[in-house]
Structure 1
Amino acid sequence: MVPHRSEILGLVIFGQCLQGFAAIPIYVLGVTYIYEHSAKYSAGIYLGIGELVQVLGYGLGYTTGSPNLKPTSTEDSTEGRAHNFLQRQVIWWAGFLFATSLSWISFIPLLCFPTHLPGARKLKLRREKGPLTFDKKLRYKKFGPRLKDLFHALQCLFRNPLLLCYAMCKATESLTYIGASEFLPKYLENQFLLAPSLATLLTGIILIPGGAIGNFLGGFIVCKLRMSCKNKMKFIIVTSIASLLLFILIAFIHCETVRFAGISEDYDGTGVLGNLTAPCNKHCGCESAIYASVCGRDDIEYFSACFAGCIAEKYLQNEKTYYNCSCIKEGLTNADTQGDFVDAVSGKCNTRCFKLPLFFAFFFSSIVFSTSAAIPITLVILQTVPPNLKSLSMGVTYTTLRLFGSIPGPLIFRLSASNSCIYWDINKCGDRGRCWIYNKSKMAYILLGLCK
C-alpha cells in the first residue's frame, strides 16, 4: 500500500479543479475578447496564434515533466535512495513552480487591458451592418445575472443546431488528438519495433508540431482568403475529408507480424497456441513475470531465453547471445568470434520493415488537416450566435469538448488497446497486469476506427 495515496490524489484533483477555474476565462473570455477587437478577416490569424502557443505549451509541459519518467535508481544504500527521491521531488515541483511563474507573468499585463479597446465600437457597428447569421429575435434580447436567466440563455443556445454540431466537432477533434497521444506510443513500439523512449519521442514530434501548424494554418488560410461563414463550413468539410483519407491510408501501412513461439507458432507442433510452455522448455521452470524477448536463428521470437530453452549465455560486442537452446532446431547456425554456435540473440526479431517514414508522413499530415479545422469551427460558432451570448457559447463549446473529448479520450483508447492484446502478464494470484504482446493488425484497425 502506498502511504497517503488517497490524500495525494485528492489534492491533485483539487489542484486541477482550481487550474480549470483559472484557465476557463482565458479560453472563453479571451477568445471572445480577441474576436470582438479584431477586424472581420483578421480574427482567425490571432486565434490561430493563440492555439499554436497553447499546443506548444503542452509540449513544454511534456519536456518539463519527462525527467520524472526515468526509472528509479537501483542504488542499494539508503542514502542513495533518499537522494534520488529528493531529486525527483525537486524536479517534480520545479515544473509546477515554473509554470506558475509564467502564468503570473502573463496575467499581470492582462490586468492593464481596458474593457473595450479603441476602435472596438467601429468594428461592432461594421459587423452589425453585415447579414445576420443567427435568429434575429435574439439580437437585442437581454439576460440578467440570475440563475433562471442562465438556464434561459442556455435554452436559446441549445436551440441552435449549428452550435451543437460544431461543439461536437471540436469534441471529436480533442478525442482524437488526446486519445492518440495515449495509444500512438504503444502502436509505434509494437508495429515498428521501436524502443518505448523513441516511440514516445516520435509521438511528441507528430502531435505537437502537427497540431501547432494545423491550428495556425487553419486560421491563416480562412482569413487570407476572406472566407464567409458558408465557405468556412466548406473548408471544415474538405480538411476533415482529407484527414479521414489519410487515416484510411495509414491502415495499410503496417509491418509483417513476427512469428512468436506459443502465440502464433506452436513449437514445431509440440506445443499449444496460447501457451508459452512446451515440452522443449518444460524442464526449465520458466515464468512470464518479466518479458525479455530473444530472436532465434529460426527467425522465431521467444518470450525469454528461458522459454527458448537456452542454457548458456554471454556478451559479445555489447550484445547478449544465447547457446544450446533446446527449442531452436532450425535455421542457419553462425559461429561467434570464439567459435561457439549462436542460437538466439537478445531483442525482437527484425521484420525488415522500412515503412516508418511513410507512416510518419501520413499521420503527421492527417493531424495537420484535422487540427486546421479548429479555428474555422471557433469562428463559425462566434458568427452564428448573438453578441450577448458569444462568451456563453464558447463556455458551452469547451464544456462539450471536455465532457466528450478530453475526459473519455485516454480511457477509450486504453480500453481499445487492451482489446488488441494477445498475451497478458498474469501473476500467481491470477491478477492481470500489463500487456506483453499485441496483435499488430488489430491495433492498426483500432487506430483507424477511433481516429476517424
Structure 2
Amino acid sequence: MTMEGSPEGFFEPRLMEYSDSNKKTSQAKCCSPSLKIFIGVLAFCYFSKSLTGAYTKSTITQIERRFEIPSSTVGIIDGSFEMGNLLVITVVSYFGAKFHRPKIIGAGVLLMGIGTLVMALPHFIMDRYKYDTAAAHTNDVDNFTVRSTCSSDTQNTVQQLVSGCQKGEEESSPTWVIVLLGNIIRGIGEASIGPLGMSFIDDYAHPENSAFYIGCLHTLGVIGPIFGYSLGSLCAIIYVDIGFVNRESVNITPQDSRWVGAWWLGYVVSGLLTLLAALPLWFLPRALPENPQTYEIDNPSKQHKHTPSITEIAKDFGPSLKRLLTNKIYLLYLVSNVVVFNAFAIFITYTPKYLEQQFGQSASKTNFLIGVTSIPPVALGMFLSGWIMKRFKLDLLGSARMSFFTAIAALFITIPYFALSCENTDVAGVTVPYQGSVEVHNISSDVLTSCNADCGCPDFQWDPVCGQNGVTYISPCHAGCSSTRGTGQNMTFHDCACVQSWGMSAGNSSAVLGQCSRESRCTRMFYIYLALQSLAFFVYCLGTVPFFIISLRIVDPELKSLSMGVLLLVLRVLGGIPAPIYFGALIDSTCVKWGLKKCGGRGACRMYDTETLRFLFLGLVSCLRVLGYILLWGAITQINRKVQNDKRMSKDKELQEPVLYDPEQQKTLK
C-alpha cells in the first residue's frame, strides 16, 4: 500500500478473512520449520544480549567503586551502549532489510560478543584493587593500608602517603574508558537484531501469529535478565581479585561500601555465550520459500535477474525517511515513547543502586532478588500480551488502547513506593553530630571534633566502625579509639573517646568494624517494594507486544524496518544516552560523604541522603511517565479519528458506486 492509498502513511493491518487457499498457506506458514528455527535462534540472541544488558546494570555499583568514579561517569558508561547503537541503527535497519537479514544479524551478534569481552579487559591490565583499612597490624604504604587508631603513628603514616603522591605516584588510571569502548561495540552490534529480526518475522508469519511470535521472542529474551542478575549476584559476592589475593586476607565484607566483586567475570561468561549465539545465523537462508510472494521480493534475482545496487537503494533512502517523518501519528507516538523511555532508562539503570542505598542491602542480595522476583512476571506479562492479541484479534486501535491502559494501571501500582523508605544511618559528623542530636549543616568541618582532634586522622579514609552507642564513625581514628584487640574482620577497637562523649562509660566505649545495622523494618519494606515492583512489571508488560505492533502498523509495509530503526534510534539519542547521565549527576548531588583518593581528588560516593534520593528517583520517574502517557493518549486519539474517517470514506464510496443491471437477477426477482 502506498502513501496515496493510505493518507498520512497510515497502514491498517491485513484483513483477517481468507480464502481456503490462503488458509492452507497460513497453516503451512504457521508450521514452517524454517521460521521456527529462525525464531528459536533469534530468541537465543535476545537471551544473550538481555543477559549481558542485565549484568551490566547489576555491576554499576561495582564499576563505580573499582574505578573510583562518580555516578555521572557511570551513567556515561551505561549510555555508551546507546551511543554505539545510534551510530548505525538507521542505516542497518534500512539497508539491512534489502540484503541477507539473518547474516547481517549474525554479524551484529558476533560484534556484540567481542565488545562484551573487551569490557572485561581492564581487570587484566590494572593493578590489584587496594583499599584503606584499619584491620592491618602494620602500615603498608604500597598496599594503601593505614592503621587508623588514634596514636602518634597515624600522622607519620599519612605523611608517608602524601610524600609518595608528591613523587608522582599515580593511584589509578582511566582504564574505565576501555569498558566504555567495549559497551559502544556492543551497541553497534545490537543495532541489527531488533529492526531486522522483528520485520523478518512479520514478513513471513501470518498476521494473527506475528504478534504471538514477537511476544514469545521477547518472553524468551526476558529469561536472560534472570540469569544476568543471578550472575551479577554471584560475581558480586566473589572478591574482585579472586585467584590473586588470599580471601582470608580481605578484611571487608560484601556489605561494606568499599567492597568490589568480580565484576569482570560475568562479562567473560556472557561474551563467550554471545559468540556462540552468532554462529547459527550464518547458516540460515536469506528468505523463506514458504511465502513465495515475499520470497520473490527478497530475491529479485530469481524473478527479474537484477539485484539493485547500494547506490539505487541509497537513492530511495531520503524519500522513504521523509515519508516516515511526515506521518503525524508516527511522530506523536515517537515523542510519547521518548518521554516514557527516559523514565524507563533511569529506573532500570539505577534501581539496584537505589535499593542498596535506600534499604541498606548488599549488591549481591539486591541483584539476586531483582532477578528472581521481577523478571518472571515480566516474561509472563510479555507472553500473555502476545496471546491476548492473538486470542482477541486486536487491531491497531485495540493494540494502542491496550498499551495505554496497562501502562496507567502499572503507574498506579507504583504510588506506594513513596511510603517505603528508611532513614539515613547515623554517621557521626555526617548525618548526626558527635555529641548530640542537632542536625549537621557543615559536614566537611564537623568530621573532626574535640574527641579526635589530636589523632591526625586522614581525610581520604572511609573505614567505618560501629560504636556501642549505635552510631557509625568514619574510621576508628575518627571515633578516637586508642587501642585494638583481635585481628582481621574480628578486630575490635577500645577506649574510643568519641563514643564516651555520648555519655557511655569507659567500659562501654568500644567499636567494631563495619557500619551499624539498619532498623529491622527496612528489610520488610525492601520485600514489600520488590512485591509491588513485580506486580507493576507484570501489568506494564501486558502492553509490550502492542508497543511493537503499533510501530509496525502505523506506517507503510515497506517502511516497517525503517520505522523500527528510527524509533530505536530516537529512543537512544533522546532517552537511553542522556537519562543515565543527567540522573547520575542528580544522584551525585545527594551524596553526603564522598570517598577521597589518597593523592587528592574525589572518588566514589560512600553515603547518600536517602530521603532526597528517594524523591528524586521516584518523583522524576513518575512525572516522566505521566507526561509520556498524556502524549500517548493523543496518539491514540489520532488513530481513532483516522479509523473512523477511513470507515466513513469506505461507506460513502460503496453508496456512490453505480448498481450494474443484471438481467438474470431481474428474472429471478420477478
Interval of TM-score (by shorter of Structure 1 and Structure 2): 0.7 to 0.9
**Structure 1: how far apart are the matches of 2:477 and 2:214?**
58
**Structure 2: how far apart are the matches of 1:3 and 1:439?**
29
Give the partner amino acid of 1:102.
A
Give the CA deviation at 1:421.
1.0
Of 582, 592, 606, the residue aligned with 1:422 is: 592
Residues 258 and 90 of structure 1, relative CA distance in 2, 3 Å threshold:
closer
- Asked whether 1:296 is paired with 2:467, we answer yes
Give the partner amino acid of 1:97.
L
Of 555, 561, 572, the residue aligned with 1:402 is: 572
Residues 291 and 209 of structure 1, relative CA distance in 2, 3 Å threshold:
farther
- Asked whether 1:114 is paired with 2:287, we answer yes
Whether the 8 Å contact between 1:299 and 1:331 is mirrored in structure 2 is no
Pairs within 5 Å for 1:55-70? 55-60=222-227, 67=235, 70=239
Residues 73 and 27 of structure 1, relative CA distance in 2, 3 Å threshold:
closer
Alignment identity in percent? Answer: 25
- Asked whether 1:350 is paired with 2:524, we answer no
Deviates more, 1:398-407 or 1:387-396: 398-407
Unaligned runs of 5+ in 2: 1-169, 247-261, 295-310, 623-670
Q: Deviations over 1:76-114 (max 9, x none)?
A: 89xxxxxxxxx9999855642332122213x145x2363
**Structure 2: how far apart are the matches of 1:323 and 1:10?**
45
Corresponding residue for 2:606? 436
Of 258, 270, 273, the residue aligned with 1:98 is: 273
- Asked whether 1:192 is paired with 2:359, we answer yes
Whether the 8 Å contact between 2:377 and 2:538 is mirrored in structure 1 is yes
**Structure 2: how far apart are the matches of 1:351 and 1:89?**
33
Give the partner amino acid of 1:36.
D
Corresponding residue for 1:327? 498
**TM-score with structure 1 length normalisation?**
0.78
Deviates more, 1:210-219 or 1:147-156: 210-219
Any idea what SS the aligned residue of 2:419 has? coil
Unaligned runs of 5+ in 1: 78-86, 122-143
Of 442, 451, 455, the residue aligned with 1:284 is: 455
Whether the 8 Å contact between 1:183 and 1:417 is mirrored in structure 2 is no
Q: Deviations over 1:108-133 (max 9, x none)?
A: 45x23634534878xxxxxxxxxxxx
Pairs within 5 Å for 1:180-329? 180-205=347-372, 208-268=375-435, 273-274=442-443, 275-315=446-486, 319-329=490-500
**Structure 2: how far apart are the matches of 1:332 and 1:223?**
71
Q: Deviations over 1:276-317 (max 9, x none)?
A: 111111122222434232233333222222222222333599
Corresponding residue for 2:127? none
Any idea what SS the aligned residue of 2:499 has? coil
Residues 197 and 393 of structure 1, relative CA distance in 2, 3 Å threshold:
same
**Structure 1: how far apart are the matches of 2:199 and 2:366?**
38
Whether the 8 Å contact between 2:195 and 2:564 is mirrored in structure 1 is yes
Larger radius of gyration: 2
Residues 278 and 4 of structure 1, relative CA distance in 2, 3 Å threshold:
closer
**Structure 1: how far apart are the matches of 2:496 and 2:183?**
52
Residues 234 and 371 of structure 1, relative CA distance in 2, 3 Å threshold:
same
Instruction: Choose between structure 1 and 2: higher helix proportion.
Output: 2
**Structure 1: how far apart are the matches of 2:558 and 2:406?**
31
Q: Deviations over 1:197-255 (max 9, x none)?
A: 22333344455445433333332333333323222222222122122223332121011
Give the partner amino acid of 1:351.
E
Deviates more, 1:344-353 or 1:188-197: 344-353
**Structure 2: how far apart are the matches of 1:311 and 1:14?**
51
**Structure 1: how far apart are the matches of 2:458 and 2:378?**
43
Give the partner amino acid of 1:285.
G
Give the partner amino acid of 1:117.
E
Pairs within 5 Å for 1:56-205? 56-60=223-227, 67=235, 70-73=239-242, 93=268, 95-105=270-280, 107-108=281-282, 111-112=284-285, 114-115=287-288, 117-118=290-291, 145-172=312-339, 174-205=341-372
Give the CA deviation at 1:162.
2.5
**Structure 2: how far apart are the matches of 1:45 and 1:245?**
27
Give the partner amino acid of 1:441.
E
**Structure 2: how far apart are the matches of 1:178 and 1:8?**
22
**Structure 1: how far apart are the matches of 2:333 and 2:614?**
28
Corresponding residue for 1:360? 530
